[in-house]
């Protein structure tokens, strides 16, 4: 499974940002052809994304492009031109505004026809963004509809718009959250997470748009980390360090997980049955939780090296 603590969005229309973003410490950086690019710049941005796939230094990162959504005037040309001209370099497509399996399968079948022209070892993966009420109620079906699917990604801005949910900025808690007295996005986050995990794929939280508010970003990242998400989108390089830190177990967590596993294994070897570790009863489920922490730490370390 890919390491994906931080996922940096880069407008494909801006060569300076492309160079800077690819050199960042983000686990994944993607070239955006959708919301970050105006209609007048779509063709130029597509050409620059293709050039970057073929010639830029990605610093070991997977090569990723977010295309425009199925049904838009740009979708087919995005996918065809990017794959035809850089398909041997491309690792992942991010598909926005996936309202159900049909959208995902449209992109997957097009890739089925385009890929044979390239000498690929593995198929091009897809990450599907869930960004609407319709997409949420079908996210479980979407999650199991194609073997190309690697992750479900929550899109909080468009999701809020599809529900008529008021707010001042994407992913930012505001006075409406205080009025509601709870987390207004908990339900979609948990449903997307469960759908992803049931399909054995990654779950990624969307962006926190106020890149000057580091404490707000940290709180948002910790919320999705607490649920079990693998990572979070970043809209600015300044957010990467905070997001990476939140989604990487610290030394205390790693040491505690190792100690728990060791205590359980020692008890099983001795045949003592019930295990009390640091005043708490532990069992096989406790070990699986600790091993999950160690797995995250190992992937984080491999991504940083």
pLDDT in the model for residue 303: 60
3-state SS record for the chain: CCCCCEEEEEECCCHHHHHHHHCCCCCEEEEECCCCCCHHHHHHHHHHHHHHHHHCCCCCCCEEEECCCCCCCCHHHHHHHHHHHHCCCCCEEEECCCCCHHHHHHHHHHHHHHHHHCCCCCCCEEEEEECCHHHHHCHHHHHCCCCCEEEEEECHHHHHHHHCCCCCCCCCCCHHHHHHCCCCCHHHHHHHHHHHHHHCCEEEECCCCCCCCHHHHHHHHHHHHHHCCCEEEECCHHHHHHHHHHCCCCHHHHHHHHHHHHHHHHHHHHCCCCEEECCEEECHHHHHHHHHHHHHHHHHHHHHC
Per-residue pLDDT of the chain (305 residues; tens, 9 = 90+): 789 999 999 999 999 999 999 999 999 999 999 999 999 999 999 999 999 999 999 999 999 999 999 999 999 999 999 999 999 999 999 999 999 999 999 999 999 999 999 988 899 999 999 999 999 999 999 999 999 999 999 999 999 999 999 877 776 776 767 777 778 899 999 999 999 999 999 999 999 988 889 999 999 999 999 999 999 999 999 999 999 999 998 888 898 999 999 988 888 887 776 688 888 888 888 888 888 888 888 877 766 55
Considering the segment(s) 6-246 as one domain, its CATH architecture is Alpha-Beta Barrel (3.20)
Where are the chain's structural domains?
Answer: 6-246, 251-304
């Amino acid at each position: 499974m890919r390491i994906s603590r931080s996922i940096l969005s880069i407008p494909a229309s801006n060569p300076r940002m492309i160079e800077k973003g690819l050199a960042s410490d983000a686990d994944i950086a993607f070239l955006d052809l959708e919301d970050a690019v105006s209609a007048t710049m779509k063709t130029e941005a597509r050409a620059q994304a293709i050039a970057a796939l073929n010639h830029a230094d990605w610093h070991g990162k997977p090569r990723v492009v977010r295309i425009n959504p199925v049904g838009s005037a740009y979708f087919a040309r995005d996918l065809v031109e990017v794959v035809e001209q850089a398909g041997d370099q491309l690792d992942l497509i991010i598909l926005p505004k996936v309202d159900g399996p049909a959208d995902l399968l449209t992109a997957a079948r097009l890739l089925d026809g385009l890929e044979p022209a390239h000498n690929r070892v593995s198929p091009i993966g897809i990450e599907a963004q869930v960004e609407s009420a319709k997409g949420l109620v079908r996210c479980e079906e979407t999650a199991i509809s194609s073997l190309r699917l690697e992750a479900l990604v929550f899109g909080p801005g468009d999701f809020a718009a599809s529900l008529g949910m008021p707010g001042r900025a994407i992913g930012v808690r505001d006075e409406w959250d205080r009025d509601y007295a709870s987390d207004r996005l908990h339900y979609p986050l948990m449903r997307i997470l469960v759908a992803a995990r049931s399909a054995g794929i990654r779950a990624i939280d969307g962006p926190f748009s106020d890149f000057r508010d580091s404490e707000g970003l940290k709180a948002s990242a910790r919320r999705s980390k607490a649920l079990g998400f693998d990572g979070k989108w970043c809209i600015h390089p300044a957010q990467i360090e905070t997001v990476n830190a939140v989604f990487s177990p610290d030394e205390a967590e790693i040491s505690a997980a190792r100690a728990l596993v060791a205590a359980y294994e020692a008890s099983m070897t001795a045949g003592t049955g019930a295990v009390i570790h640091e005043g708490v009863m532990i069992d096989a489920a406790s070990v699986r939780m600790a091993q999950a922490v160690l797995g995250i730490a190992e992937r984080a370390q491999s991504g940083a090296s």
